Structure 1
Amino acid sequence: MKTTFVPKALLSFFLLLSFWVSAQKSDRELILIDKDWRFSFGHLYDTKKDFGHAEGYFSYLTKTGFGDGSAAKDFDDRAWRKLDLPHDWAVEQPFSESASFSHGFKAAGKNYPEKSIGWYRKKINILESDLGKVISIKFDGVFRNSKVFFNGFYLGTEQSGYNGFEYDVTAYVNYGGENTIVVRADASMEEGWFYEGAGIYRHVYLQKTNPIYVKENGTYVTSELKNNDAEITAEVSIENKGNSKGNLEIIQTIFDASNKQITTNSEKVSAPEFYKTANFTSKLSVKNPLLWDIDTPNLYRLVTQIQQNGKIIDSYETIFGIRTIKFDPENGFFLNGKPLKLKGTNNHQDHAGIGTALPDEIQYYRIKKLKEMGSNAYRCSHHPPTPELLKACDELGMLVIDETRLMGINDYHLNDLQRMMERDRNHPSVFCWSVGNEEWNIEGGIVGERVTNVMQNFAKSIDSTRPVTVGISSGFKSGISSAVEIMGYNYLGNGDIDAHRNQFKNQPGMGTEEGSTFATRGIYFTDDAKHYQSAYDKKPRPTFYSIEEGWKFYAGRPYLAGMFIWTGFDYRGEPTPYGWPSVTSYFGMMDVCGFPKDNVFYLKSWWGKEPVLHLLPHWNWIGMEGTAIDVWAYSNCDEVELFLNKKSLGKKKMEKNGHLEWKVNYAPGTLEAVGYKNGKKVLTETQKTTAKAENIKLSLDKENVVKGNVSVVTVEVTDKNGLHVPTANDEIEFAIKGGKILGVGNGDPTSLESDKFIDNIDLVAINNFKEQKVNTAVLPQQLLNYSENEWVEAFKDRDYKKQAASYIYKGEFDLKNKSASNIVSFFYKKIGVETVVFINGNKVEPSAEDAQKYTFNTAILKEGKNTIHIAATPLQKIKDWDVMNTDPGIIQVITPAEPWKRKLFNGYAQIIIQKDENAKEVVFSASAKGLRTTTLSLK
């Protein structure tokens, strides 16, 4: 579009007017609706156990609005579990040897039909004043194959567990009243060969907009540097879901990080036609821009406003950064015109204790941990990430390879790629699109070349500012390798990288996966019987390379842009080189909690900027006196001298990108390393033999979590001198007030301990439901004797025009493993006007908060079969076609959770806690047999 210029004399007035306009409230609202959902398991194929869903004569696919069973608007979900999102039900399950190897042996998925379907329900109120707005529900991601209903209306199915999606519910809203959102997630099918979780594991929003509005992900901001200025191109897609016609004004305003207005632009355009979309482009200039960089991640904010008849009707914000990227086939990667070696890691999206349901704060925690290690790049392996991950990378300065899930040329594949790119293309952290990973079936042939050409050209049509790559592992010869813009080498041992480069000298390249080493944190002798791998950096197998070997290869070749290690963090699943009972990978530079393995310090030495000196192993080797121990030093010092109990064992020169080794006969005491630069002592590192554990130490990780309600607490034990005990494995029990624990972990790849300790909820059906007619409408207050010969099947062939004065109903329910600690309740569904309930002959009273809920004294219950009687005066049909409820309700059995606990693994455990919204203080305590109890207060 043509840019509108104003005379200098009017510029000040125009800027003031624009600032006033930006302060006006638009019709757009985005409301996070993560709180207070109801959840229950359904069933993969047994519709009775799936709450009778899709059993109706008319299904939700047959007639509009016929969502039935638990998809129905008025389905009674009171007995379901109450929870907040994000939620991953897979991480809550026990481990099982028969479960999926790749998904960490969690008892969920296709082999567990009773734990493969999850139902979610939430009620929301929408104001009557919202009538006339476009109302939509937005999901950042549901794993997997989700069906969504709104007030019983089927909205659609999203197969992918990684795509965000949105449904327009405007026509189905009960304005001025209650509305019901229902999600059925089917996690029986795996998309990846790694742990993926299950359920609504990302955020959900309610959005309200004017009928003329900026489409979701409807802006695209690019920049071009010219001399000391940046020319900004801001494209916007506007949709009209109303009947308004005529002129609109599009106002584009850029603000800096301090919220200072930098520049603005205004254009008059015509409104799109009904249910059509129109695209408009504006040009803006930023003088002397602050560039986005890994060390100074400067961000700007574009506010796009639509004005109609002098009123702002929509306002849409886009965060962006100004920077240049370039791949050179001779000299690697350049950021803002300066060469930058990519020091990257691959990562999956799960974390200890919480699975894939990461609070936003944990995204920052993980990216900061990687930054501490010296990493500057992150590859999303192997699927689109959650939006909050990219937000953290934007704000913290971490480059990102953004990767789609599956290669292909049809709508399923290209639509997924387009949605990912349109969602993520404004993030300055994203510097490369990946359209595939290790597609062995097509990598080396013509099909791979064709698919790559289509996907690459398709990607360029959506975003021409970033290059495209594919991670390739089955040889670097032809097929995908000969077509992809940026060659992605997966592992040195899989082909001759130098030979490929000599054949394709105009094709830039980088190591998209390298390393794949095995290491268990705190273990220094491999023990295959225990499934523990030594943490020394060794070749994992003959054709693969250690971390050091890999980095030396890539660091020594200017034409290679850098490398991405497999992986930054351990993750659930793929417990190579072992199987059960190993349940997590061994590949990470850090474990699943983010506790560093020793390789972290090798990378920190050569990836970071600060002086580093790290000594391994620990020095607690009781019973191994006189045994030769391998002692390594990771450092970027010029020289390192090693001492044992103050006796020098020699000074050694450090090779660039290398490490130092000594053989030391073990003797208790102090192992000390001294680092020298330019002949001067600059660093000292010690490993000391400790006494027995006496104290529990709790540390709050303030540096790595942004301000919020979620905190990461490190648990360890110390001896009488306050020294960390690196071999401790005490079981610690936890308690909390003013908050809740989200998950526990310790980094042990063979730990089969629970990740979560939550109340177990069983829903028990009432069976064999029968009735007898009673001639009086006066309901009994004590259970009478009723003839056994007169019981008939309840409600069968009921003549609703000739009903009895009242009825007595009888049913049975089974209680297994009855315990005095169980909480057993009956959630009654109305089958009468007035009701009296008896359990095993005892009258029970409704609860004070819900007249249709009865909580039983466990003393009147029996293990096994129990009997329920309900005396009720009948409901009457108002219209002949009224459908009467014949379901008396459900029995809910709550088994309270055990106390939260976790064993230390080599001295450490991690607890993730969340502060209650209204709590002034969180008090967290830890106790263990033989150790002093410790309390941590968070205000």
Structure 2
Amino acid sequence: MKRSVLLLSVFICTSVGFSYAQQKTRLTNNWEFLKQDIGGIWEAVRPVTPGNPESVPVWQKVNLPHCFNARDAVDPDVNYYQGPGWYRTQLDIQNPYAGGHTLLHFEGAGQKTDVYVYTTKVGSHLGGYDEWTVDITQAVEDFKKTDIYQKRFKGHIPIEIRCDNSRDLETIPSQLSDFNVYGGLYRYLNLVYAPALSLDKIFASAQVDKDDKQGDLQIKARFYNPAGKTAAEGTVRLIDPQGKLIMQKNYSVNDLKSDAAIGTFQIKKPKAWSPLSPALYTVEVSVKSDDQVYVQIEKVGFRNFEFADNGPFYLNGKRLLLRGTHRHEDQAGVAEAMTDNMMRQEMQMMKDMGVNFIRLGHYQQSRTILNLCDSLGILVWEEEPWCRGGLGGEGYQAQAKQMMTNMIEQHYNHPAIILWGLGNENDWEGDFPVYDKEKIRTFMKTQNDLAHSLDPSRKTTIRRCDFCKDIPDVYSPSIWAGWYRGLFTEYRATSEEEFKKVKHFFHAEWGGDSHALRHSENPDKALSNIKSGSGTDERLGDASLYGGAARASKDGDWSESYICNLFDWHLKEQETMPWLTGAAFWIFKDFSTPIRPDNPIPYMNQKGVVERDLTPKESYYVFQSYWTDKPMAHIYGHTWPVRWGDAGEQKMIKVYSNCDNAELFVNGKSYGIKKRNSQDFPAAGLRWMVVFQAGNNDIKVIAHKGKQTVTDQISQQYQTEKWDKPAKLQIEKIKDENGESTVQVKLVDSKGVPCLDAVNWINFSLSGDGTLIDDLGTSRGSRKVQAYNGRALISVKNNKGKSVVGVQSPGLETIFINL
């Protein structure tokens, strides 16, 4: 069997007397998957006769990474699948090391996993987000001795893996959490060949004084030593950010049972790691035993940080305002099974937006993400998945402790990490009949002590559990000004009030939902009904679209127009809060969630500044205008094709830009030059009142930053016709390219006038040869979606055939279009 693999690492040593070929390969292709359980492991390996109707169930071919819930997480008609699923493949295993070990290294699998070699169970793991390894050496050797190894499997080793994301109250994270608890081999799986003695982990502690004059690097090793060897020797090499070897030391160890100190380095004036200059040093550790050598490489950075008591945050002795966001591992079309390229694109977009901090919510995330944070210069808060629901029993707590331990040990070397999160919203009850605050406090203290014992160099933190806020080093209360409670103009006062309650304050989670492509001429209309002075925290039930006090989350229009104003206000306030450590808005990218079926895109949390497929919303550019230095200018409304109002009425045009000044042109006429002032809300003063002409209007801005010039331009229609309530649907094909057709449906009144504020539900269906491109969780990729400005879009993969698209909206006549 041919296998397409990515060779991750091959080291060749030419020292006299030694040679080695240490290798790790990604197992990506030639997998089969079954989305159900089987009667026993024999069903996964028994011989199959072609055409035999008893050869069931039917497995499907897949590539890794793969998630059970790539589509059904956002299927509007069903609950997402939670249960067992099976994977199987056959490997050509030829370990080059005499007496070496063959390992399967899982970068993450959800949520309970069992591993088999043929019918022999070789390992299990509980937890969907930490890394783990199974040694399959003995099982492989035993199987190679059987007759069927050559006769039936042609010299290959059958591997079967059972993943299970069934609901279980005694595991974390809670099913009450606002994200899907996915199943599958949704992170990379590696085949590793190791010699008889190798390295399990390297702990590299890089410290630097506040003057950046002296760097200290202490290195410990944990050995993988199933053979029980009693001694080891090797070399530690330190390479600077330019690739130059600057130090090298030999070591010898006589106790391999515990973590061993193998090297200490002092570096004069090390190049400091920071968001502006993420300098990374390379630590290369080799271990030699008999005639075999194993090498492991880690990246480290020298930086120091401080959360000042009742004050701001300092990095390398200078105040740094943490400008942050959040992230879930979730992507349109694949759910949690994101590839390296997907993750790289996402993190680069964050960096391009000006992010210098990220909270990874609410679990240990892929090693790829942490590597990108190191190399891009993005500081990190990473947390264990103790999220909502209360506190379970002994098994529950043991899992939490183990996952905290694994997260810290596995990500210990990343200079980007400054905070270990102990939990999230642990004041949220519901999983158990008894909700005991004191027991939660006791366990929170246990986790806090555990984190500090594993890593004294970093701080601990939690978000939204007021009765535990005295336990961690840094605390983030709940402040959702202008969304779940209150008005966004109350943000500063509420933040100052909360700041005074703790020694080290950080503001994680703020913002609100926006339905991509929906815009409003009067986005603040709902604010008149919202009571001010009643607090800005989010409370149980506030996410509901029903009942309770008036609030933007329930009574607002969910337009991009409103959320841009909310973000704009927060950002201009943060510019003049010198005591603020920083803030992280929730969240960079829309993500799926099982607890929001009634949102404009069902089962989607729509608080991102980009959609689930990374398409930017207008709010992306609001942040970019405050947080970046590279000149940019963006006219609000690139996805707003038609504006409306009276003839002769003045309309505001906003430009989000970080430039010194900008000049606006509409239909060739200049409306003057405006200077940017961050405190001149909205749009930092870059706004103009303009009278549109009926029909098409061409809008252009020319902005200047020093000697540099940037431009942006859009065209918008202006509709003066008034409309009545929606009376019928109209559909048309607006694009046909690369084998895909895109259709647009509009809601119009009885006279055919487009209803530009209509938010009716739209349901798409398809018959024929094509495939509806849906279940993506995006505004253009959902077969059930609320209209945005009286329209909705969807695409069809034609498959070189004919299809009919149907469109239904409650109370209106269903319509069709032939493709």
Q: Same fold (TM over 0.5)?
A: yes
Matched-pair contact (CA < 8 Å) for 2:195–2:292: no
More displaced stretch, 81-90 vs 629-638? 629-638
Q: Which residue of 2 aligns with 1:470?
A: 462
How far apart are the structure 2 equivalents of 1:94 and 1:622? 34
Q: Amino acid of the residue matched to residue 122 of structure 1?
A: T
Residue number among 580, 586, 589 corresponding to 1:566 in the alignment: 586
Offset of 1:632 from its aligned partner? Answer: 2.0
How far apart are the structure 1 equivalents of 2:799 and 2:17? 49
Against the structure 1 CA distance between its residues 683 and 334, is the aligned structure 2 distance closer, same or farther, given a 3 Å change threshold?
A: same
Q: Amino acid of the residue matched to residue 381 of structure 2?
A: I
How far apart are the structure 2 equivalents of 1:265 and 1:756? 60
Q: Which residue of 1 aligns with 2:332?
A: 352
More displaced stretch, 378-387 vs 687-696? 687-696
Residues 173-221 of structure 1 show CA distances to partners (whole Å, capped at 9, x for unaligned) of 1375432221112223275431344311111112222232211x34333
How far apart are the structure 2 equivalents of 1:378 and 1:227? 25
Against the structure 1 CA distance between its residues 336 and 22, is the aligned structure 2 distance closer, same or farther, given a 3 Å change threshold?
A: farther
How far apart are the structure 1 equivalents of 2:16 and 2:34? 44
How far apart are the structure 1 equivalents of 2:240 and 2:660? 43
Query: Map of 1:298-447 to 2, 5 A cutoff?
Result: 298-309=279-290, 311-406=291-386, 410-441=397-428, 445-447=437-439
Residues 1:484 and 2:441 are matched in the alignment: no
Give 3-state SS (helix, strand or coil) of 1:206's partner.
strand
Q: Which residue of 1 aligns with 2:3?
A: none
Offset of 1:663 from its aligned partner? Answer: 4.7
Give 3-state SS (helix, strand or coil) of 1:469's partner.
strand
Q: Which residue of 1 aligns with 2:44?
A: 70
Matched-pair contact (CA < 8 Å) for 2:507–2:584: yes
How far apart are the structure 2 equivalents of 1:899 and 1:532? 40
Give 3-state SS (helix, strand or coil) of 2:585's partner.
strand
How far apart are the structure 2 equivalents of 1:303 and 1:902? 60
Percent sequence identity is 20
How far apart are the structure 2 equivalents of 1:253 and 1:23? 20
Matched-pair contact (CA < 8 Å) for 1:672–1:687: yes
Matched-pair contact (CA < 8 Å) for 1:250–1:305: yes
Q: Amino acid of the residue matched to residue 581 of structure 2?
A: A
Matched-pair contact (CA < 8 Å) for 2:35–2:68: no
Q: Which residue of 2 aligns with 1:261?
A: 245
Against the structure 1 CA distance between its residues 580 and 694, is the aligned structure 2 distance closer, same or farther, given a 3 Å change threshold?
A: closer
Offset of 1:315 from its aligned partner? Answer: 1.6
Offset of 1:672 from its aligned partner? Answer: 3.1
Against the structure 1 CA distance between its residues 26 and 222, is the aligned structure 2 distance closer, same or farther, given a 3 Å change threshold?
A: farther
How far apart are the structure 1 equivalents of 2:191 and 2:474? 39
Gaps of 5+ in 1: 1-17, 43-49, 54-66, 101-106, 110-115, 540-544, 699-712, 718-725, 734-740, 759-895, 904-927, 931-939
How far apart are the structure 2 equivalents of 1:178 and 1:642? 68
Q: Which residue of 2 aligns with 1:284?
A: 265
Q: What TM-score do you get using the length of structure 1 for normalisation? A: 0.63
Matched-pair contact (CA < 8 Å) for 1:537–1:548: no
Gaps of 5+ in 2: 1-11, 50-54, 145-154, 168-173, 430-434, 486-492, 524-544, 546-553, 719-731, 745-755, 767-772, 786-792, 806-816
Offset of 1:267 from its aligned partner? Answer: 1.9
How far apart are the structure 1 equivalents of 2:198 and 2:345? 35
Matched-pair contact (CA < 8 Å) for 1:328–1:559: no
Q: Which residue of 2 aligns with 1:108?
A: 81
Q: Which residue of 1 aligns with 2:179?
A: 194
How far apart are the structure 2 equivalents of 1:204 and 1:587? 31
How far apart are the structure 2 equivalents of 1:99 and 1:423? 37
Residue number among 498, 506, 510 corresponding to 1:510 in the alignment: 506
More displaced stretch, 254-263 vs 391-400? 254-263
Matched-pair contact (CA < 8 Å) for 2:98–2:195: no
Residues 1:152 and 2:119 are matched in the alignment: yes
Residue number among 129, 148, 164 corresponding to 1:162 in the alignment: 129
Matched-pair contact (CA < 8 Å) for 1:252–1:305: yes
How far apart are the structure 1 equivalents of 2:183 and 2:137? 29
How far apart are the structure 2 equivalents of 1:756 and 1:313? 55
Q: Which residue of 1 aligns with 2:31?
A: 37
Give 3-state SS (helix, strand or coil) of 1:452's partner.
helix
Matched-pair contact (CA < 8 Å) for 1:27–1:210: no
Offset of 1:82 from its aligned partner? Answer: 1.9
Against the structure 1 CA distance between its residues 902 and 90, is the aligned structure 2 distance closer, same or farther, given a 3 Å change threshold?
A: farther
Against the structure 1 CA distance between its residues 349 and 358, is the aligned structure 2 distance closer, same or farther, given a 3 Å change threshold?
A: same
Q: What TM-score do you get using the length of structure 2 for normalisation? A: 0.72
How far apart are the structure 2 equivalents of 1:612 and 1:373? 11
Residues 1:533 and 2:511 are matched in the alignment: no
Matched-pair contact (CA < 8 Å) for 1:264–1:284: no
Q: Which residue of 2 aligns with 1:598?
A: 618
Matched-pair contact (CA < 8 Å) for 1:265–1:284: no
Residue number among 99, 104, 107 corresponding to 1:140 in the alignment: 107
Q: Amino acid of the residue matched to residue 136 of structure 2?
A: V
Q: Which residue of 2 aligns with 1:184?
A: 162
Matched-pair contact (CA < 8 Å) for 2:592–2:603: yes
Aligned residues: CA RMSD: 4.4
Matched-pair contact (CA < 8 Å) for 1:576–1:586: no
Matched-pair contact (CA < 8 Å) for 1:509–1:559: no
Against the structure 1 CA distance between its residues 899 and 616, is the aligned structure 2 distance closer, same or farther, given a 3 Å change threshold?
A: farther
Residues 1:252 and 2:236 are matched in the alignment: yes
Residue number among 656, 659, 676 corresponding to 2:678 in the alignment: 656
How many residue pairs match? The answer is 670
Q: Which residue of 1 aligns with 2:656?
A: 634
Offset of 1:752 from its aligned partner? Answer: 4.7
Against the structure 1 CA distance between its residues 899 and 327, is the aligned structure 2 distance closer, same or farther, given a 3 Å change threshold?
A: farther
Residues 1:451 and 2:438 are matched in the alignment: no
Against the structure 1 CA distance between its residues 444 and 294, is the aligned structure 2 distance closer, same or farther, given a 3 Å change threshold?
A: farther
Residues 1:551 and 2:571 are matched in the alignment: yes
Residue number among 682, 686, 699 corresponding to 1:671 in the alignment: 699
Offset of 1:555 from its aligned partner? Answer: 3.3
Give 3-state SS (helix, strand or coil) of 2:303's partner.
coil
Q: Amino acid of the residue matched to residue 27 of structure 2?
A: I
Q: Amino acid of the residue matched to residue 318 of structure 2?
A: K
How far apart are the structure 2 equivalents of 1:897 and 1:675? 45
Matched-pair contact (CA < 8 Å) for 1:589–1:599: yes
Give 3-state SS (helix, strand or coil) of 1:369's partner.
helix
Q: Which residue of 1 aligns with 2:8?
A: none
Residue number among 206, 218, 225 corresponding to 1:233 in the alignment: 218
Query: Map of 1:865-880 to 2, 5 A cutoff?
Result: none
Matched-pair contact (CA < 8 Å) for 1:30–1:206: yes
Offset of 1:368 from its aligned partner? Answer: 0.6
Residues 119-161 of structure 1 show CA distances to partners (whole Å, capped at 9, x for unaligned) of 1011112237656212221111112222222232223432322
Offset of 1:563 from its aligned partner? Answer: 0.7
Greater C-alpha Rg: 1
Matched-pair contact (CA < 8 Å) for 2:13–2:19: no
Q: Amino acid of the residue matched to residue 685 of structure 1?
A: D
How far apart are the structure 2 equivalents of 1:749 and 1:188? 28
